[in-house]
Amino acid sequence: MHPGPTALQTNGKVNHMKTLCLLSLGAALALGGCSQTAKTETAATSEVVTLRSETVEVACGSCVYGMDGVKGCKLAAKINDGDPILVTGHDLDLHEHKLCTTASNAVVSGEVEGDTLVASSVVMK
């Protein structure tokens, strides 16, 4: 007994159009999956900069550095004389250290994650 036609056959003959469409769809899905994987790997391997007792310039991101989108007085640091980035993980009183009127040096430890310095230590010089 002869089995009936498969999904790619019509009246026992191979339907090349169905085959081509299914192969194209499979290739598109495979390539789409590869590009998504590549993006994930790129994001996962982004460089993390670690600071260990580095002396950096710090000041108020809004008052001194005029950083866009910063509301209120937030500590910011210039790493390697670059653009200022916000600093989290500290308990400094910016007004007590006059950081809303002038930049000063501090010894900082922590990691730069994206556009934020996540500090484990900030000690004014």
Q: What is the pLDDT of residues 76-97, one digit of tens each?
A: 999 988 999 999 999 999 999 9
Domain residue ranges in the chain:
9-44, 49-124
- Scanning the structure block, which residue is given the tokens 């194209």? 24
Q: How many residues does the chain have?
A: 125
Using one digit for the tens of pLDDT, what is the confidence trace for 26-43? 444 444 443 333 333 334
Tell me what the pLDDT averaged over the chain comes to. Answer: 78
Nearest one of 2, 108, 16 to 56, comparing CA atoms: 108
- Which of the 8 DSSP states describes residue 48? -
> Side chain identity at 114, as an amino acid letter?
G
Greatest pairwise CA separation for the chain in angstroms: 93
Say what the pLDDT of residue 16 is.
55
Q: What is the pLDDT of residues 2-25, one digit of tens each?
A: 555 555 455 555 555 555 444 554
pLDDT for residue 60 = 98
